[in-house]
Amino acid sequence: MVNEIDNGINCWNQPAGHVEDGEDLIAAAQREALEETGYKVEITGLQAIYQGIHGTSGTHYLRICFHAVALERLSETLDPDILSAQWLDLDDLQANKYQLRSELTRQTLEDCPDAPIYPVNLIHDLYLGDHQ
């Protein structure tokens, strides 16, 4: 989990981010995990796809939740928005011992123990160039 400040609130979230131009989804997840935790990870499965709309800002979020294995710590330097990255106990997270960033974060954690894990080959990255 990563500790961050969101709208002035100190909270916890899974490593998350955005896909960069020209980047496939798995590479984006690996890059974000490295930038936010310092760990090189192997994506092992897809838990679920979540969406929600922020009640105040109206921002639409699409969260693709992966399962991953931490392979090795490559860096102690984290994104400037991240205060720390720590291994936290799932039971403590589910028992509200930590302020979570959002209901999307809470739902992914609640689903985690019993969620079916889908193979990542369900994701197909295609280049959609101009038609000739």
Give the contacts of 16 (CB within 8 A, at least 6 positions apart): 32, 36, 63
| Structural domain range at position 49 | 2-122
**Tokens linked to 6:** 């969101």
Q: Is residue 46 part of a domain?
A: yes
Q: Is residue 62 part of a domain?
A: yes
Question: Could you give the number of structural domains in the chain?
Answer: 1
Q: Is residue 132 part of a domain?
A: no
**Tokens linked to 22:** 């020209």
CATH code for the domain in which residue 68 is found: 3.90.79.10
Q: Is residue 43 part of a domain?
A: yes
With bands split at pLDDT 50, 70 and 90, how would you rate the model's confidence at 25? very high
Q: What is the pLDDT of residues 58-102, one digit of tens each?
A: 999 999 999 999 999 999 999 999 999 999 999 999 999 999 999
With bands split at pLDDT 50, 70 and 90, how would you rate the model's confidence at 129? low
Beta strands per DSSP E along 27-59: 39-53
Cβ count near 67 (within 10 Å):
16
Asked whether 83 and 42 are in contact (CB, 8 A), the reply is no
Q: Is residue 85 part of a domain?
A: yes
pLDDT at 14 over 70: yes
Q: Is residue 129 part of a domain?
A: no
Asked whether 81 and 16 are in contact (CB, 8 A), the reply is no
pLDDT score, position 57: 86
